[in-house]
Copies of this chain bind each other. A is one copy, B any other.
Amino acid sequence: MILSALLTSVAINLGLCFIFFTLYSILRKQPGNIIVYAPRLVSQGQLQEGAKFNSESSLPTAGWVRRAWEPSDDEFISTAGLDAFVFIRIFVFSLKVFTFAGIVGTLILLPINYMGTGIRDNSDFQNKSLDSFSISNVNNGSHGLWVHFCAAYVFTGVVCIFLYYEYAYIASKRIACFYSSKPQPHQFTILVRGIPVPPGGTCNEAVEQFFMEYHPSDYHSHSVVRRSSKLQILVTDGERLYKRLTQLKHKDNSPQRHRRDGILGIFGHKVDMLDHYEKSLGNIADNVRIEQSSMAGKEVPAAFVSFKSRYGAAIALNMQEGINPTHWITEQAPEPHDVYWPFFSVTFIRRWFSKLVAYVACNALTILFLIPVALVQGLTHLDQLETMFPSLRSILRLKLVSQVITGYLPILILQAFLSFVPAIMIMLSSLQGYISWSRIQKSACNKVLWFTIWNIFFANVLSGSAIYRLNYLLEPKEFPRVLAEAVPAQASFFMAYIVAFGWTNVASELFQLIPLCYNYANRVFGGDSSKDFEAPSIPYHMEIPRIVFFGLLGVTYFILAPLMLPFLLVYFCLGYIIYRNQLLYVYVPKFETGGEFWPTVHNYTIFSLVLMQIIVIGIFGLKKLPVASGLTLPLPIVTLLFNEYCQKRFFPIFQAFPAECLIKKDRQDQNDPNMSEFYDKLNKAYNDPALMPIKYSGRFSSRRYPLLGSSESKTNSRESSSDSSSEDMIV
């Protein structure tokens, strides 16, 4: 790719970004768009739907930037949660690293690269190949390479220092958040699996007996888990029907009210839909009750056991409980609304089997994805396209078209394929047997990251230059040499990737095109949907891999092609301010892991560093500077030792809270007058939502069924006097 092609791409994308920003700053002030651009405030009741968001004029302004910028770290955490804060810290960390790298890269490395004569490119500046700015242009054995050598050492040192302080900072925030948090059910609860049910007894009795015996002072209550997948389907069906029914009642006499009962609602008798819906809802309600009353027999040998103190729960969590280590297996409970209930309905054998399937499918997907990648790579070689479609020759020879096709199209197509991957990975992770949505997302995040690194980085690098090198790649000794040959050659592709995909991506994130269209369509065609309006949550498994991958590109190409760094810096700056805005006004956190995504980011940064170092070792070998190559060898070893230390120093804090914190926090609570109320809530926190009494139960059936959920949980503390919350639900 030549310089002017890159500049074309930059121009197009800058234009796009500018359009997006302008449109955003106009559209967000429209009262109708408030549920697109500030759904968080609406869902929290801070703003009425359709209200005016702010009092500014409707001309495009940049006031939103100021408002996104202003909140301090602690304000941001208290508003958006620690996970969101960690997400923003990825940008802060990247900005720090790449500001340093950008200064060193453009002021020191770039001139050295440009002054070399390795590539004989005598065209004028505008038509110069981008390779002239990369390390490929430095002459073999040149002393200038020692500058690159020093840069590799200094950069590694600086990144490691930033990593260390970032890990320490986030760990301290995690502890601080824990100290300042209100008592939450998941802090007091563990999940116990493999409960040995004595013959003739029930799981319920077994749990109570065991914990009363061995944790008499700390045990509070428990709720046994039941196989409820059938019930879940019924309840969901019922709720959907109920929603449609209420909608129908609101607009009396609408044409939708009567419909024929035949095929496609066209043939057959005219039927009053209201009657029809009410009848089926009655059926479902009865079925639900029958199913609920037969739940007693569907006990799963698992239970959520709550304790009176966090420390008590931690003790039960960390100790091997029973003599048989396959019994009483303990696990930290997720937040109540974060529990992935379908997990419990699946039998052990099916779980084991679906784990295997998920593993195989994930690998298959990763390998099969090489096909679209190879096709996309074909586009960068225009001559092949010309021979395939001879009729297009005249168009393809136009300068602008060729620049768009080589600089823009491949990335667009790749992205179209890639957009399906996160959803597929979420599905595979949910097959793997995690007990909570947050763990499913964490696992999917890892999968998407590997997928991205493998399929975008390695596949592009190796297929673009020579796919047959894959064979060499499997020999560890050849690894640095092959990478050193292939990676610099793809610098221009990745530069275009950052500009075309990275920039537009953050801009369109701000603009929220799809929700905007949906909202518009809804206002025009649909009715009043405000009752089931739900604010979106940020899909970490999609966003984190993307940002980390840009970080990987920056780290690996810092030495090879420092021209990339300014474009990356623009990306991270845009990303920082836009995602701050989105997290403050758009997304509502669905769960709170307490910053558990950071270790993933840390690990992949270390991976990027080591990859960079291996490539540099190979480069020095290729450039006939074996001494520098040999002297770089200790660098990956030291980096990995540093990582080892960080894992020991910080990772345990992200797995569980230490005794010191738990005890301090428990002592704080002792003086809290609200604790007895909290303990009452704790009793029912982990009841399966499918087992709760249904909303429409009273209306469509006269019979009343005992509340299965509450008979489940036993409590040692005094019962709460008013059971208002659950009474309310039975209309």
Which A positions have Cβ atoms within 8 angstroms of B? 175, 214, 314-315, 318-326, 648-653, 656, 658-661, 663
Q: Per a CB cutoff under 8 Å, which of B320, B325, B651, B652 touches A649?
A: B325
Starting from the known contacts A323-B653, A323-B660, 6 additional A-B residue pairs (CB-CB under 8 Å) come to A319-B658, A323-B658, A323-B661, A325-B650, A325-B658, A326-B648
Q: A326-B649, A648-B326, A649-B326 are in contact. Are A658 and B321 (CB under 8 A)?
A: yes
Contact A653 B325 (CB under 8 A): yes
- The residue that A652 contacts in the complex, of B320, B650, B656, with Cβ under 8 A, is B320
Contact of A325 among B319, B320, B326, B648 (CB under 8 A): B648
A320 proximity list for chain B (CB < 8 A): 652, 656, 658-659
A512 vs B663: C-alpha distance when bound (angstroms): 58
CA gap between A177 and B1 in the complex, in Å: 76
Whether A660 pairs with B214 at a CB distance below 8 angstroms is yes
A321 to B318, CA, bound (A): 12
Q: Is the CB of A314 within 8 A of B319?
A: yes
- Cβ contact of A319, chosen from B315, B321, B324, B653, cutoff 8 A: B315
Bound complex: CA A319 to CA B315 (Å): 7
Residues of B within 8 A of A649 (CB): 324-326
**Bound-complex Cα distance A650 to B327 (A):** 11
Cβ-defined contact, A214 with B653, below 8 A: no
12 A–B contacts from the bound complex (CB under 8 Å): A214-B659, A214-B663, A314-B319, A318-B319, A319-B658, A320-B652, A321-B658, A322-B659, A322-B660, A324-B649, A325-B648, A325-B652
Nearest chain-B residue to A657 (Cβ)?
B320
* B residues in contact with A315, CB < 8 Å: 315, 318-319
**Residue numbers in B under 8 Å from A321 (CB-CB):** 658-660
Contacts of A659 in B (CB 8 A): 214, 319-322
| CB proximity of A163 to chain B, nearest CB, Å | 17
List B contacts of A661 (CB < 8 A): 323
A315's nearest neighbour on chain B, judged by CB, is: B315
Shortest A245–chain B CB gap in Å is 51
**CA A317 – CA B511 in complex, angstroms?**
53
**Nearest 8 A-B pairs (CB), nearest first?**
A325-B652, A318-B318, A320-B658, A319-B659, A321-B659, A214-B663, A320-B652, A315-B315
Name the B residues within 8 Å of A175 (CB-CB). Answer: 323
Residues of B within 8 A of A651 (CB): 325
B322 near A658: Cβ-Cβ < 8 Å: yes
Closest Cβ of chain B: how far from A305's Cβ, in Å? 13
Nearest opposing residue in chain B for A311, CB measure: B319
Report the bound CA distance from A564 to B653 in whole Å.
56
* Min distance, Cβ A476 to any Cβ of chain B, angstroms: 13
| Alpha-carbon distance A659/B214, docked complex (angstroms) | 8
Q: Which of A318, A325, A648 has the most CB of B within 10 A?
A: A325
Least CB separation from A663: chain B residue: B214
Q: State in angstroms the CA–CA spacing of A648 and B193 once bound together.
A: 14
- Note all chain B residues with C-beta closer than 8 A to A656: 320
- Residues in B with CB closer than 8 Å to A650 are 325
A657 to chain B, nearest CB (A): 8
Looking at the assembled complex, report how far the CB atom of A22 sits from the nearest CB atom of chain B, in whole angstroms. 48
**Distance, CA A318 to CA B318, complexed state (A):** 6
Distance in Å: Cβ of A598 to nearest Cβ of chain B: 15
Q: Which of chain B's residues have a CB closer than 8 A to the CB of A653? A: 323, 325
Query: How far does the alpha carbon of A315 sit from the alpha carbon of B175 in the complex, in Å?
Result: 21
> Within 8 Å CB of A318, what residues of B?
315, 318-319
A651 to B653, CA, bound (A): 27
Assembled-state Cα–Cα distance A663/B321 (Å):
10
The residue in chain B whose Cβ has the minimal distance to the Cβ of A652 is: B325
Roughly how many angstroms separate A320 CA and B319 CA in the complex, as a whole number? 12
Q: Which residues of chain B are within 8 angstroms of A319 by Cβ–Cβ distance?
A: 314-315, 318, 658-659
Closest chain B residue to A656, Cβ basis: B320
Contacts of A660 in B (CB 8 A): 214, 321-323
A217 CB → nearest B CB, Å: 10
Taking the closest CB of chain B, its distance from the CB of A503, in whole angstroms, is 40
Q: How far is the CB of A169 from the nearest CB of chain B, in Å?
A: 14
Candidate in A318, A323, A661 with the most chain B CB atoms within 10 angstroms? A323
- CB A270 to nearest CB in B, in angstroms, measures 62
Q: What is the distance, in angstroms, from A292's C-beta to the closest C-beta of chain B?
A: 35
Q: Which residue of B lies closest to A319 (CB)?
A: B659
CB distance from A248 to the nearest CB of B (A): 55
